[in-house]
Structure 1
């Protein structure tokens, strides 16, 4: 089983405008749609679509839980959230401009979590996760959820003997490295913060591999670098027409971990994940990708063993 833990989930509100966004002008919205937000939930969506057994866990607000649960049900994602009373799951506003690639995102801070809810989540994790499982913790931390709380969660997972994957940033990413998780996906600038600004990306990857089993350094549309079991790989992503890049990295992580969980060779994991991420950016929502398209696109992925 793969468990995803999204501590600060979101409901993405996609705002489509019929022309390029202009300051000091009334920019009229032509359409509004809703999708999942939060890196862990994006990962669960990919796993569910690939028929990988998984359960989405984390924290969500009671005020708008029906809206979140409706989206999860629509996307066939099994879930068991710890509910935070009298709080609302945050919304993210994603602006998509007609004829302009990419997107503009505005995010709310998220839930204010009490000690009671923190304990409840920890207890659920203790009861469920075993040494045979994989756990992905991904995304930002909600309000009042401290780095010490994350550290406690990570050590509960380490005690279970499971495989721990983290797609975090800032202090949370540093803590994951300090605790010694099995997988992380920093970008090239976060990698410098963790290791050294005076070393190359590949040197930093090699140094970090002494503490983390599998490290993937993302470079956006250019692809990524991976260090695993003493080997380094450069992954060059296929060229596609970008519509909305929101969630592309999360799609990569979900697909990579799905293949890794199935014990596929590392190059196959990287190739398929890159194909899925490339398919994602061709869609205008936050999660959608096409498996057949991803299988075609993975043939255009170049992997160089360094």
Structure 2
């Protein structure tokens, strides 16, 4: 089983502008839609679309839980979220400009997680996790969920000998690396923070880090991405597509990668699947949707070069 943990999920409200966003002017929308928000939930959606069994875990606000759960059910995401009493799941506003000019995200503050809810999540992992499972911990930390709480969560999964994947940033990503999780996916900005204390070139620092972490899939912007796995390096070149909304593309990659990896443990196939699904995702309007059939075609265009 794959478990995804989204500690600070969101409801994405997508605003499609009629014209380019302009300051000091009324910007009118042509359409408004809603989608699930949060890295872990996006990962679960990708796994579900690929037919891989998974369960989405985490916290969600009690006050708008019905609206949050309705989107999960529409996406057919199996879930077991712990409700935060009197809490409100944050809403993220995604502003999408016409003619593929990119998107802008604005997000609300999170709810505050109590000790009882923290313990409830920990007890679930301790009860159900096995060494055959994969755990994906992804996204930002909500209010009152401290770095030591994250450490306790990661340690609980490691004690069960599950494969621990983390898609985090900042201090949380540094912690995951220090604890020696099995998988991380830093982007080029997070990579700079992660390697700031290491010496030598980026490649040398990454190679050093790969001795502590089983798999690192690092994005290098327009240069594609590079993966370090079991002492080997792979350059990943994704197919060129027409981009409409890149929100959630990295989350889609992680979910699809882990879905394929859980089935075959073939790193090249997992990288191809993740890259192809992400390439499909950016061609659609919402934050999570991609077409598995289209991804199968794009998969043939993904180039994996062993360095």
Deviation at 1:201, TM superposition (A): 2.9
**1:269 and 2:270 correspond:** yes
CA contact (8 A) 2:195 2:202 kept: no
The residue number in structure 2 matching 1:201 is 202
What whole-Å deviation, never above 9, does each CA across 1:170-215 have from its counterpart, x for those lacking one? 0101111111110000123322322347533322221111111100
Retained in 2: the 8 A contact 1:43–1:254?
yes
Q: Are the aligned partners of 1:20 and 1:100 in contact in 2 as well (CA < 8 Å)?
A: no
- Residue 249 of structure 1 corresponds to 250
| Partner SS for 2:241 | coil
- Asked if 1:302 is matched to 2:265, the reply is no
Q: Distance in 1 between matches of 2:46 and 2:165?
A: 15
2:158 corresponds to 1:158: yes
Instruction: Report if the CA contact (8 A) 1:222-1:237 is conserved.
Output: no
Query: Structure 1 CA distance, aligned partners of 2:7 and 2:173?
Result: 14
Secondary structure at the aligned position of 2:205 is classed as helix
Counting matched residue pairs gives 306
RMSD: 1.2
1:224 and 1:23 map into 2 onto residues whose CA distance is 35
CA distance in 1, matches of 2:122, 2:142: 15
The TM-score with structure 2 as length reference comes to 0.97
Residue number in structure 2 paired with 1:279: 280
The equivalent residue for 1:95 is 95
1:112 alignment counterpart: 112
Comparing 111-120 with 41-50, greater Cα deviation is found at 111-120
- For residue 12 of structure 1, give the secondary structure of its aligned residue in structure 2: strand
- Bigger shift: residues 96-105 or 270-279: 96-105
Deviations 1:27-59 (A, max 9, x none): 012211000100000000000111111000000
In the TM superposition, what is the alpha-carbon distance from 1:109 to its structure 2 partner?
A: 2.2
- DSSP-derived class of the 2:300 partner: helix
Matched residue SS, 1:88:
coil
Cα offsets for 1:115-147 (capped at 9, x unmatched):
111111111121121111100000000001000
Q: Which shifted more, 99-108 or 76-85?
A: 99-108
Contact 2:273 2:299 in 1 (8 A): yes
TM-score (structure 1 length as normaliser): 0.97
Range that drifts further, 181-190 or 85-94: 181-190
Distance 2:163 2:141 in 1: 21
SS at match of 2:15: strand
Quote the residue 1:70 is aligned against: 70
Q: 2:66 and 2:223 mapped to 1: Cα distance?
A: 38
Q: Which has the higher mean CA deviation after the structures are superposed, 291-300 or 197-206?
A: 197-206
Determine helix, strand or coil for the equivalent of 2:68: helix
Contact 1:191/1:204 (<8 A) preserved? no
CA distance in 1, matches of 2:49, 2:100: 28
Name structure 1 gaps, 5 residues minimum. Answer: none
Detail structure 1 runs of 4+ shifted over 6 Å in the superposition: none
1:22 aligned counterpart, secondary structure = coil
C-alpha distance in structure 2 between counterparts of 1:199 and 1:4, whole Å? 35
Cα offset, 1:271, TM superposition = 1.1
Deviations 1:95-125 (A, max 9, x none): 0112133211001121111111111111112
